[in-house]
Amino acid sequence: MPKTALITGATSGLGYEFVKLFAKDGYNLVIVSRNKQKMEQIKQSFQNIEIKVIVKDLSEPNAVKEVIEEMDKQEITIDVLVNNAGFGLLGHFDQLDIQEQLNMIQLNVAALTELTYYLLPKMKQKKDGKILNIASTAAFQPGPLMAVYYATKAYVLSFSEALVEELSDSKVMVTTLCPGPTKTNFGSVANVEGTKMFSRAMNAEIVAKQGYNALLNGKRVVVTGGLNKAGTIAAKFLPRSLAAKIAKSIARKE
């Protein structure tokens, strides 16, 4: 019987790469994001597996409960949860729209937490399950000019690493993928294209594959790319104030 993976934000970038990877390995999928047309196209182009499309804006407070209700109605059990949907915004905290930043917290933090909360018990019960949370290299230091985004990703990393420990006696694995700048729609949505930070973005296919392999191999945390790895190690040893200054300098447009 094929396993089922739920992927949020499957319509572009890393999410779409995860769709391809899971499909290749024969997983059935539940895909959740806002763009119905793109998701229907994805469903059509992967005829070898079953894909359930759920159109939902996960930045709305009731969205996750509605996703769970829809899956319960159809008796869909999730074996692998990929909390991928997310976005960032470049700008001074007080000059960015507050509602957009609250939506970001709702999507990047609250929806990820709530999906994990509702899907974890069955995984524990079955003694089988995997969760892949997409954080970022942003998780490792404060991020001036993207203050809320960096903070959401610090939450994702901290939350996920804590769960690994809570679940150490169970068969449920939690893996956190921390990509650095990657060529997806993220750059244009966040308005970070043209910044120093984005001058060397990685290929989405490579980043997703590293996350996928880490998930299958039960790794706790994976940072993609040599330079990104070096950056996160440096961030651990630098004073937080200096790490923040560096993050600010690379968030400026070149």
Dist. CA 171–CA 85, nearest whole Å? 25
Residue 149 falls in the annotated catalytic set: yes
> By CB under 6 A, is residue 225 in contact with ligand NAP?
no
Residues 6, 13, 81, 145: which binds ligand NAP (CB under 6 A)? 13
> By CB under 6 A, is residue 224 in contact with ligand NAP?
no
Which CB atom, from 88 or from 231, has the smaller least distance to ligand NAP? 88
Dist. CA 153–CA 77, nearest whole Å? 27
Tokens linked to 127: 């003694």
Residue written as token pair 């694995």: 173
Dist. CA 224–CA 179, nearest whole Å? 5
Q: Which residue is nearest to ligand NAP (CB)?
A: 13
> By CB under 6 A, is residue 245 in contact with ligand NAP?
no
Dist. CA 203–CA 132, nearest whole Å? 19
# binding residues, ligand NAP (CB under 6 A): 30
Closest by Cα among 152, 131, 128, 150 to 141:
150
> What is the separation of C-alpha 162 from the centre of its chain, rounded to a whole number of angstroms?
17
Residues 4, 5, 15, 119: which binds ligand NAP (CB under 6 A)? 15
Compute the least distance from the CB of residue 169 to ligand NAP, in Å: 29
Residues 4, 101, 116, 136: which binds ligand NAP (CB under 6 A)? 136
How is residue 203 annotated by DSSP? E
Compute the least distance from the CB of residue 125 to ligand NAP, in Å: 27
List the catalytic residue out of 149, 150, 155, 212.
Answer: 149
Residues catalogued as catalytic:
149
